[in-house]
Amino acid sequence: MKDLFEKIKANRGPIGMHAKQSHGYFTFPKLEGDVGPRMIFRNKERLNWSLNNYLGLANHAEVRKADADAAAQFGFALPMGARMMSGNSDLHEQLEAELSSFVQKEDTILCNFGYQAIVSAIDCLVDRHDVIVYDAESHACILDGVRLHMGKRYVFKHNDIEDCTKQLQRATKLAEEQNGSILLITEGVFGMRGDQGKLKEIVELKKKFNFRLFVDDAHGIGTMGATGGGTGQEQGCQAGIDIYFGTFAKSFALIGGFVSSDEQIVEYLRYNMRSQIFAKSLPLTLVVGALKRLELMRKHPEFKDKLWEITRALQNGLKKAGFEIGSTDSPVTPVFMNGSIPEATNLILDLRENYNIFCSMVVYPVVPKGMIILRLIPTAVHTIEDVNYTIDAFSKIVGKLKSGQYVSDKIAAF
């Protein structure tokens, strides 16, 4: 038998094993100053492409004022307790009603974190007789929700409708035997590669199979669809999404999340979702902040238009310069390169220190060994000059990568 702490000390995990060499720079970097395209990293201003502040709301003057006024009026304690017991308010209900109309669903339940909302909603919706069918590249919170499920689950190859159909056939057989139901879970926009889930095709499958569709639209809310109502709206199939999830952590530049669906389903969630019954409700200050952001999203469609103008300039410019950006059809912009982890760290060090560009780096084990993704998130507050400067800098660093200038046997020292 092993001592638990000795076991942990011997194996720090796939990313944690690099903590000593990477902490504070490649991992846990500190970005300071107002949230936006220019932030301070290690005492120097950098051009920042790493935040999901898609619409630029984080530092909008009206948002900052609404947040400050709400904090002064309500603080962060109110309301105390869970919604069901003592933590409800008119403003919580107003926000739920406004979100419902924004995403074209009958009703909505607010949650404190997006991650918690997904895990808990999945847990609440299915029992051991039911079957879950889900996309292989689903976000960790979907995978954790699926892990809680006591019944069977079938995974389909990422965005592969043929395989999805096959898994639905298997699920149908089992659900019929067990007198259960099927929940199919996928994403509106996949946050790593930026490709949209094939929602329209999946909704079409309802003609052949009996299942309910749950869509995590963390990256799609505010960025996709004519009014920012999400990826279902974008693909013209929002009505076919039975359970719609959005987070406040990205376009809203806040914290919290929500689940929208038919009135009776949301009522069921309100009275049965463990993370909401047994935990404190979203602070009023955050609720007021979310209402202000929603008002601005509705009043200013030009924020989304600007986001897409920057997105197109960045993605078309990168493609024209010869970069591989995969199959993104959202603002999420992955730039694929080949190299080892030490090469990736040397490249990032060069990019940050000599070009003052800050973006996220994704390496093994998140992606296969030998692959490097530099992930750029354009926002409505970036400029075309930022785009051009970045593509130029990327061309230079990739030239160095290809000519072996970043080769090393250890992680870059900073």
Ligand X SMILES: Cc1ncc(COP(=O)(O)O)c(C=O)c1O
Interface contacts to ligand X, rule CB under 6 A: 113-115, 118, 139, 141, 187, 191, 216, 218, 247, 249, 257
Distance separating the N- and C-terminal Cα atoms of the chain: 40
Q: Minimum Å distance from CB 348 to ligand X?
A: 21
Helical ranges in 103-230 per DSSP H: 114-125, 140-148, 161-178, 199-204
Helical ranges in 226-334 per DSSP H: 231-234, 263-272, 274-277, 284-299, 301-320
Rank residues 74 and 113 by Cβ distance to ligand X and give the closer one: 113
Quick check: 332 and 377 in contact, CB under 8 A? yes
Question: Residue holding tokens 């052949």?
Answer: 208
Task: Give CA–CA dist 205/210, Å, rounded.
Answer: 9
Quick check: 146 and 125 in contact, CB under 8 A? no
Quick check: 339 and 372 in contact, CB under 8 A? yes
Quick check: 380 and 56 in contact, CB under 8 A? yes
Residue of minimal Cβ distance to ligand X: 114
Q: What element of type H or E holds 98?
A: helix 90-102
Q: Minimum Å distance from CB 7 to ligand X?
A: 29
Rank residues 241 and 397 by Cβ distance to ligand X and give the closer one: 241
Rank residues 281 and 346 by Cβ distance to ligand X and give the closer one: 281
Q: Minimum Å distance from CB 245 to ligand X?
A: 7
Q: Minimum Å distance from CB 121 to ligand X?
A: 11
Rank residues 229 and 339 by Cβ distance to ligand X and give the closer one: 229
* Spatial CA neighbour of 55 closest among 331, 257, 327: 331
Rank residues 130 and 216 by Cβ distance to ligand X and give the closer one: 216
DSSP state at residue 78:
P
Rank residues 199 and 351 by Cβ distance to ligand X and give the closer one: 199
- What phi, psi does 214 have (nearest 5°)? -110, 120
Q: Minimum Å distance from CB 139 to ligand X?
A: 4
The whole-angstrom distance between residue 311's C-alpha and the CA centroid of its chain comes to 17
Q: Minimum Å distance from CB 261 to ligand X?
A: 17
Q: Minimum Å distance from CB 118 to ligand X?
A: 6
Rank residues 99 and 175 by Cβ distance to ligand X and give the closer one: 99
